[in-house]
Amino acid sequence: MAKEERSNNIVVNRKARYEYHLSDPVEAGISLLGPEVKSLRAGKVNITDSYARVQNGEVFIHKLHITPYDFDTLSAPNPERPRRLLLHRAEIRKLARSVDQKSMTLVPTRMYFRRGFVKVQISLGRGKTQYDKRDAIKSRDAARDMRDAVRSYDPD
Question: Quick one: pLDDT at residue 156?
Answer: 66
Residue 3 has pLDDT above 80, yes or no: no
Contact 109, 13 (CB under 8 A): yes
Between CA 64 and CA 40 the distance in angstroms is 12
**130-148 residue pLDDT tens:** 888 898 889 999 999 999 9
Domains of the chain in sequence order: 9-151 (2.40.280.10)
Contact 53, 60 (CB under 8 A): yes
- Stated as kind and residue range, the H or E segment containing 125 is strand 117-127
Between CA 85 and CA 136 the distance in angstroms is 31
pTM for this predicted structure: 0.79
Question: Quick one: pLDDT at residue 25?
Answer: 92
